[in-house]
């Protein structure tokens, strides 16, 4: 009798968790719809006031909306949000807005001066193709992959991240893992295996050189472009070179999870699981699972949070849960992150020019974008909600 009671209790708890997750999806997208309507108006008002730019990035210190040009690494996130809104609601108004804002980014397919092709093109055009299957978008992705490939150095085995940094002859940042999905897709679309091979080389080299023994990641590894040898390892946007910048750990978790999806190389799955273990077992992870901007920041708990890192982590954990034996743990942790973000980190309706999440941190060492809304926090939050929804529909939540 007692055994039967325990089984029923566990089943009831699972149903409660499932219902809670479903409510978070509905609540999160309801907030996102209202705020995105505000954002569209805010963009028009900014343009009417003479501001240039194609996408929102954040707010200024005085609360003004900051728009960026298509070349900015954040330009693709708002179009991607609009695609997720259409994906969720099937409301044609979001489809039209998504197409219009995505069109503003397409010219970046030939911009070889940056590694951020995935963030710019794949978050916008990639979602456009995923949802519409319009072959035009496929062509843009293939062209973008060709451009990104020009930054690959076979001696190093990686794609160069930044230009114009004389202190780092060939810098590779952990964020660059997020650009590999575009390369994998380009091989599928074109049949050209060179993109796939570049992505695998970059992932392997990053796995070898970017991580410490505890599976925390450096932000930047600088290479000698002539020999491929490692010159220096630093954490440019974190507290210190040996500290664990929270969003960097999120990029690592997401990037290697995605690489496992595209290759089925179990080394990538194991890497993602090890990064997840570092994040989830970290003694400085707050109870609400929205991390401080750096896991080793000196004034914890009096340090800024980074909602963007939590959003990326949650999205990655949902996907990782579908591949790993630890799937239940990852889903539960992701659910907790999303509940925290939805209940305590969303902006009041009609405020913050339409941004969805509050309390993100861009680069605290530069005193840039600290405790502000950021477009990429909103993008990965909506992606995580969509992944939560799909898991629920498949009976895996």
Active site residue 116: yes
Interatomic CA distance for residues 13 and 279, integer angstroms: 25
Q: From the candidates 72, 116, 294, 306, give the one annotated as an active-site residue.
A: 116
Interatomic CA distance for residues 124 and 104, integer angstroms: 10
Q: How many residues does the chain have?
A: 397
pLDDT at 19: 62
- In eight-state DSSP terms, residue 357 is B
Residues linked to residue 67 through DSSP beta bridges, in sequence order? 56
Q: From the candidates 134, 139, 163, 175, give the one annotated as an active-site residue.
A: 175
Interatomic CA distance for residues 235 and 243, integer angstroms: 7
Interatomic CA distance for residues 132 and 112, integer angstroms: 27
Active site residue 175: yes
Cα–Cα distance list, 285 to 20, 292, 296 (Å): 23, 7, 10
pLDDT at 7: 42
Q: For the chain, list the domains and their CATH numbers.
A: 16-52+265-397 (1.50.10.10)
From first to last of its 397 residues, what are the pLDDT tens digits of the chain?
444 444 444 444 444 545 677 789 999 999 999 999 999 999 999 999 999 999 999 999 999 999 999 999 999 999 999 999 999 999 999 999 999 999 999 999 999 999 999 999 999 999 999 999 999 999 999 999 999 999 999 999 999 999 999 999 999 999 999 999 999 999 999 999 999 999 999 999 999 999 999 999 999 999 999 999 999 999 999 999 999 999 999 999 999 999 999 999 999 999 999 999 999 999 999 999 999 999 999 999 999 999 999 999 999 999 999 999 999 999 999 999 999 999 999 999 999 999 999 999 999 999 999 999 999 999 999 999 999 999 999 887 6
pTM: 0.95
Q: Of the candidates 25, 128, 44, 48, which has an alpha carbon nearest to the alpha carbon of residue 82?
A: 128
CB atoms within 10 A of CB 173: 24
- Helices 194-209 and 135-149: crossing angle in degrees, nearest 10, is 50
pLDDT at 394: 87
pLDDT at 18: 55
Q: Enumerate residues 6+ apart whose C-beta is below 8 A from 273.
A: 320, 324, 326
Report residue 379 as tokens.
């993008």
3-class state of residue 49 by DSSP:
coil
């Amino acid at each position: 009798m007692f055994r039967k009671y325990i089984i029923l209790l566990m089943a009831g708890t699972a149903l409660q968790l499932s219902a809670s997750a479903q409510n978070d999806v509905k609540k999160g997208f309801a907030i996102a719809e209202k705020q995105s309507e505000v954002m569209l108006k805010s963009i028009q008002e900014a343009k009417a006031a003479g501001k240039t730019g194609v996408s929102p990035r954040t707010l200024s210190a005085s609360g003004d909306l900051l728009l960026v040009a298509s070349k900015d690494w954040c330009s693709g996130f708002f179009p991607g949000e609009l695609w997720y809104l259409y994906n969720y609601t099937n409301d044609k108004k979001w489809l039209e807005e998504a197409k219009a804002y995505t069109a503003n980014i397409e010219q970046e397919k030939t911009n070889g001066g940056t590694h951020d092709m995935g963030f710019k093109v794949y978050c916008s055009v990639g979602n456009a193709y995923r949802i519409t299957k319009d072959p035009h978008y496929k062509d843009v992705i293939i062209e973008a992959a060709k451009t990104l490939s020009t930054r690959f150095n076979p001696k190093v085995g990686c794609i160069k991240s930044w230009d114009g940094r004389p202190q780092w002859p060939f810098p590779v940042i952990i964020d660059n893992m997020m650009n590999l999905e575009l390369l994998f897709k380009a091989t599928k679309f074109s049949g050209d295996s060179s993109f796939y091979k570049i992505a695998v080389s970059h992932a392997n080299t990053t796995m070898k050189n970017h991580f410490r023994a505890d599976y925390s990641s450096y932000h930047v590894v600088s290479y000698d472009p002539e020999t491929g040898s490692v010159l220096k390892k630093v954490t440019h946007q974190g507290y210190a070179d040996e500290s664990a910048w929270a969003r960097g750990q999120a990029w690592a978790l997401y990037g290697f999870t995605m690489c496992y999806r595209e290759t089925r190389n179990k080394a990538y799955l194991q890497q993602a699981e090890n990064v997840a273990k570092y994040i989830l077992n970290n003694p400085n992870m707050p109870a609400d699972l929205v991390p401080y901007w750096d896991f080793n920041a000196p004034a914890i708990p009096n340090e800024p949070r980074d909602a963007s890192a939590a959003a990326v982590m949650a999205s990655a954990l949902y996907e990782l849960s579908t591949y790993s034996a630890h799937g239940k743990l990852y889903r539960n942790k992701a659910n907790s992150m999303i509940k925290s973000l939805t209940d305590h980190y969303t902006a009041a309706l009609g405020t913050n020019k339409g941004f969805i999440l509050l309390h993100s941190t861009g680069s605290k060492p530069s005193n840039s974008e600290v405790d502000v809304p950021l477009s990429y926090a909103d993008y990965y939050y909506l992606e995580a909600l969509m992944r939560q929804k799909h898991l629920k529909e498949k009976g895996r939540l």
